Structure 1
Amino acid sequence: IENRDIPYYNDRLDSSGKISSFIKLCLIRCLREDRTILCANKFVDEVLNRNSDSIKHETLENIFSESSNRKPFLFLLSLASDPTNMIDDFAKKFKKYPTDKISMGEGQEIIAKEKLKNALISGNWLILQNCHLNKSFIIEVYNMSKSLNEIEEDFRLFLTSEPDNEFPICVLHGSIKISTSLSRGIKNNMRKIYKDMIKEDIIDKIDDEKYRKIIYALAYLHCVLCERKKFGPLGWCVPYEFSITDLFASFLFIEKHLYSTLLVNRPINWESIHYMLAEVQYGGKVTDDLDRELLLTYVQHYFSEELFKSRPEISDHPNNSNNNPNMVNSLDNNIPRFSEITNFDNFIESLPNIDTPTVLGLHNNAEITYRVNESRQVLNSILEIQPRDVDHGDEKSMETVVKEISIGILEALPEDINIEDIKKMIYRKNKNQQLNNQPNQQLNVTNNLNGMGKNFNNLENNSYKNKNKENENALQKSLLLNNTIGNNANIGKNANMSDSRYNKNTAGIANENDINLENLDITYWESNNDDNNIQYNFSPLQVFFLQEMERIQKVINLVKTNLNDIINAIDGSKIMVADLQNDTKCIYTQSIPKHWIYDASETEISWVCNNLNQWLNILNLRYEQIMNYFQNGKLKSYWLPGFFNPQGFLTSMKQEITRLNKKDQLSLDEVVLYADIKNFDIEKIKEYPEHGFYIHGLFIEGSKWNWQEGKLEESSPKVLSENMPVIHITVVSNKDKK
């Protein structure tokens, strides 16, 4: 679409002169966000008068001419990358192999200094790895190489470091910087592999066309596995970092295996190749069972006797207009039949610049999600570097707006609730039911909240009355979660949610006032015993919801503390440190501060959303579902995505159902969960299921559910996710599972 004319707008674009391309870029951003980066590339090429397709991958050999004995190389590492082998291979050409290598870290300074002094005098090559671990020493090394009067002309210094915001500026300016990350796209990655790894000597090791085809297929497989990562969960269930080291180890295995088969006229053992690639070289990093199955499918697809069969049809390669017989359509891929390395290079250059998802075995919709995320990441980065303190005349400053938004959020957040009071209330209710010989209703918790409600005049313990007086207002305020948080913020009840799958009644009960404080029958926990000696005995589901309450309370406390710190910093009563500045920018742009979602170890502590408005709405929905449970007990349907630990919910339900069906004499290990996908949504639920429970709120990506026929189908074009119907969950015996 970025290459097409815009209807009824071309004349205006033509009259815009130099800015016509930028105007079109803005229009594409508004109309088709997923095509923004592709249009931006075209815009950059036009402004710089270049062709990005013609940009070639630079090799270390080409860059070496720019270096000197006083100008080091700095390799910026990406995940799972290691340029050591590439440097060693290059050093062999200059007879500098083996190179000296030191992995920087605590206690390595003395050894590194000795190695450096020897290299400066002898002219050897020195590699200092992981320099980000000892940045102060790297400055000393750099100054030493600059200050000495006499340095052997052949001396070269190679530094490797992960990207670090505090890396010495002097070293960055005075070095040749090289990125080790894989390029984007199969063409660019294949180009890099054949430039850096697959040289003429590798191609000529075994003079057989089958060997060259297997080498090409292995490189192509590596690129496909790496490219799938960019599609997120649609590519791999768990993201993996497949590195050049994995490819190099696979090359060595293939070489040894073919030496023992092709050269002695023995058949290739494809099962051995499948096992080594899918279970060892690449499979050793794969942890998910579905991912292992996918990897094995890829390996079996690319490596079989079909690889060597020449099909009668000519390749449908987009650049094969002359029916070139050297390009044969084999296994849905173009496997060249060349013998010289230059022919392979030329063939790779003829590959398409942009890969469609179908090349990787994915639906075309997969590209939309990837392109949208890519566009947002770039635009957010641009937004981050924009100045915030510009005077807009009568408009409010950023600090004023952020303060108003923060105050509005604080007013809308639920007040703190004493979880210990809830535990005591549940304990009292369970005890009363036992004394009255009233069996617990299935999955029923209580209709009462201890210390929270209207009947505060019947307390027998006045001190306990005062203790819980604050909780009355707390619950009333926290349950009425639909207040707006301020005109400036546009966050709260009046803000429309962009994702319809969150607009669900979390309790499964279609009532506007499904939490009625006036009708709460409050039973207070009373005991002459020491509170600390209470022996709680909760059902599995009660334990689960108490844990959910504790976790959401931690999130609420985190948000409150952070917003109060921001307000105090704006008022001048607290220092505006860098973290608070970043949080202020996030709130101003209505994005979510990172530490609201992830802790210091990058563990997810809340939920990921597109914007702050959506995040706060989900906070309210999650809290509302928990409070609905404490008020109503069993819910007609549970919003499964609204739990921190969905697997824990299913496990607790499994325990509950097993306990309630003791007559079947089945232990927990003898039953499994059984899911029955219905053909209706939550609004059609009128009563509780006779057995088990309902869940809702799930959606599916990569396919869709046919509600009428009850089966999976291919996704509709440009529809990224489809809502799933209500699902009925129950348990069956292991013997009955299908």
Structure 2
Amino acid sequence: MTYPFSIGDLRDSSLVLFNYLETQNAVKVPWDDLRYIFGEIMYGGHIIDVRDRLLCNTYLDFFMQDRLLDEAELFPFCEGRDGVSFRTPAPQSYERYLESIEGMPQETPLAFGLHPNAEIGYRTQQCNELFATLLQLQPRKASAEGGAGSQGGQMHAEQVCHEILEEMGDSRFDIEEISQAIPDEEKGPYQHVFLQECQCMNVLVTEMIRSLSELELGFKGELTMSSLMEDLAANLVLDKVPPSWTKLAFPSTRPLGSWLGNLKERIEHLQEWTKEPLTLPKVVDLSKLFSPQSFLTAVKEVASQQHQLELNKLVIVTAVTKKDVSSVDAAARDGAFVTGLHLDGARWDMASSCLEESRPKELFCALPVVHCKAELGSKKEDSGTYICPVYRTQQRGATFIFDAQLRTKYPSAKWIMGGVAMILDIGVSL
């Protein structure tokens, strides 16, 4: 999320700092007061997302301390790194301060507490956006370039349309048949969630078949090509997921080809459940669900019923196991085993069972099976646990699902500043 920070915020903060120190007779710098003024009012007043506010306060907690006046290391958690350092200059003249500022090292992700891999992801995103913009600038009817309106573009769109229809077949689920296989008295939270997943899949597949069948008739000259059909053909040529599908589908940043492959995997995942609808799968792939939140709510509902606990006081607690999907013999007795989680900004060390820094050029790390269960929430903070946000896609933001707990031997501030999160759909297979 982008916030309207400006040079005016910096100017006003410096004036507040100057006036505050001038009027205070205390021997020590009132860091707590200053952190509150800057983090909750001057800059924090712009911030509306709770995780962005946490990041802002973590930066302030790191920098605004007495050591800031005593040649402190300004690159977070970079102590001991060779050739990577920038320390606050000792008290000196104004001119010497300017010289120190001019001598600052080049901007690097390490200066913000990020892993160097963050620059790879950023540059890749810039590249993808550039090529996507170039494709959009391509004239719709430029026959020389093979656009959707050209003969070559139309042939390509027609071929893609036919291939999708042929591969998809009729992948819809018979909801009535599945419901009849589950007696009403045995329909629990998990059964309701998976029935809902099948219904969502049916709605999406129905729209795909309808729109592609119409487009195929349009190519044959049996229907007049409407603007919606032309837009659909253009998206097929550009390898983009059509908007009419996107609004009924799961959040995703994948191109069309990869999206279709992922859709097929989701259908297969649901088909496996329909074979034994009364039992919870040994391992549930959260990344293959339309609504992971609904499944996690079902975990809490089951725990509430089993242990006679208040539903609104329960939270999801996670524990990373040392198992992969193939080594899980049975479903969890309490909660559920889940997979499909990927660490972004860090990796999971299997030997020590805790977070570690990412390896060079390794952008994501697939987690082993994770045990999710519901427990009564506790306000007590554990210094050995990092509260890790889980998102559906790399866009993060509105795709937030829940907060997981991961063991760490480093302070949580390291991972907060490093932007460490778990992503369900990273767009590729690891």
Return the TM-score normalized by structure 2.
Answer: 0.71
Q: Is the 8 A contact 2:175 2:195 kept in 1?
A: no
Residues 1:591 and 2:240 aligned together: yes
Alpha-carbon distance change, 729 to 301 in structure 1, aligned in 2, over 3 angstroms: closer
Residues 534-592 of structure 1 show CA distances to partners (whole Å, capped at 9, x for unaligned) of xxxx4222221222222222222332343344435544533452x65454333223233
The answer as to 2:162 corresponding to 1:407 is yes
Instruction: State the secondary structure of the residue aligned to 2:36.
Output: helix
The reply on whether 1:385 has 2:137 as its aligned counterpart is: yes
Give the alignment of 1:160-559 within 5 angstroms.
239-244=1-6, 247-262=7-22, 268-309=29-70, 329-331=86-88, 338=94, 355-386=107-138, 388-390=142-144, 397-415=152-170, 417=172, 421-422=176-177, 424-426=179-181, 429-431=182-184, 440=186, 538-559=187-208
Question: What is the deviation of 1:375?
Answer: 1.1
| Larger Rg computed on CA atoms | 1
* Displacement after TM superposition at 1:638 (Å): 0.6
Q: 1:588 to 1:729 in 2, by over 3 A?
A: same
Q: Which residue of 2 aligns with 1:716?
A: 359
Partner residue of 1:485? none
Distance 2:56 2:345 in 1: 18
Secondary structure in 2 matching 1:284: coil
| 1:685 has 2:328 as partner | yes
Q: Which residue of 1 aligns with 2:82?
A: none
Residue 722 of structure 1 deviates from its aligned partner by 0.8
Partner of 2:276: 632
Check the 8 A contact 1:329/1:335 in 2, yes or no.
Answer: no
Cα distance change, pair 380–557 in 1 and its aligned pair in 2 (3 A): same
Structure 1: which 5+ runs fail to align?
A: 1-238, 313-327, 435-439, 441-537
**Structure 2 vs 1, CA of residues 337 and 555 (structure 1 numbering), >3 Å: closer, same or farther?**
farther
Distance 1:561 1:337 in 2: 74
The C-alpha deviation readout for 1:423-476, integer Å capped at 9, x for no partner, is: 7515xx415xx6xxxxx5xxxxxxxxxxxxxxxxxxxxxxxxxxxxxxxxxxxx
* Secondary structure, counterpart of 2:180 in structure 1: helix
CA shift, 1:614, in A, is 1.5
**In terms of mean alpha carbon deviation, does 247-256 or 417-426 score higher?**
417-426
Secondary structure at 2:319 match in 1 = strand
Name the counterpart of 1:562.
211
Note closer, same or farther for the CA distance 1:311–1:559 as it changes in structure 2 (3 Å cut). closer
- Alpha-carbon offset, residue 619 of structure 1: 1.0
Output the CA distance in 2 between the equivalents of 1:270 and 1:552.
54
Query: 1 CA distance for matches of 2:36 and 2:100?
Result: 30
How many angstroms apart in 2 are the aligned matches of 1:396 and 1:630?
A: 44
Query: Shift of the alpha carbon at 1:356?
Result: 1.5
Q: Provide the secondary structure at the position in 2 that maps to 1:240.
A: coil
Q: Is the 8 A contact 2:143 2:151 kept in 1?
A: no
Shift of 1:377: 1.4
Q: Distance in 2 between matches of 1:673 and 1:415?
A: 36
Shift of 1:366: 0.9
Kindly tell me: are residues 289 and 558 of structure 1, through their superposed partners in 2, closer, same or farther at Cα, counting changes over 3 Å?
Answer: same
Answer yes or no: is the 8 Å Cα contact 1:240–1:285 preserved in 2. no
Confirm or deny: 8 A CA contact 2:320 2:371 kept in the other structure: yes
* 1:646, distance to aligned residue in structure 2 (A): 1.0
Cα distance in 2, alignment partners of residues 371 and 335 from structure 1: 38
- For structure 2, the 5+ residue unaligned runs are 74-84, 383-430
RMSD (Å) for aligned C-alpha atoms: 3.7
SS at match of 1:616: helix
1:484 matched to which residue of 2?
A: none
> In the TM superposition, what are the counterparts of 1:651-690 in structure 2 within 5 Å?
651-659=297-305, 661=306, 664-669=307-312, 671-690=314-333
Take 2:90 and 2:230, find their aligned partners in 1: how far apart are those partners?
52
For residues 44 and 235 of structure 2, the distance between their equivalents in structure 1, rounded to whole angstroms, comes to 40
Which residue of structure 2 lines up, in the alignment, with residue 120 of structure 1? none
2:236 match: secondary structure: helix
> Which residue pairs with 2:403 in the alignment?
none
Distance 1:555 1:588 in 2: 20
Q: Give 1:553's aligned amino acid.
A: N
Aligned position for 1:34? none
Question: Judging changes above 3 Å, is the alpha-carbon distance between structure 1 residues 666 and 272 closer, same or farther for their aligned structure 2 residues?
Answer: closer
Whether contact under 8 Å (1:678, 1:728) holds in the other structure is yes
Aligned-pair CA distance for 1:389:
1.4
> TM-score scaled by structure 1?
0.44
Q: Could you tell me how far 1:680 is from its partner in structure 2? A: 1.7
Decide whether aligned partners of structure 1 residues 589 and 425 sit closer, same or farther in structure 2, where only a CA change above 3 A counts: same
User: How far has the Cα of 1:265 moved from its partner?
Assistant: 6.4
Deviations 1:43-79 (A, max 9, x none): xxxxxxxxxxxxxxxxxxxxxxxxxxxxxxxxxxxxx
Identity %: 22
Q: In structure 1, give the amino acid aligned to 2:2.
A: Y
Partner SS for 1:397:
helix
Aligned-partner residue type, residue 162 of structure 2 = I
Code of the residue aligned with 2:251 in structure 1: it is W
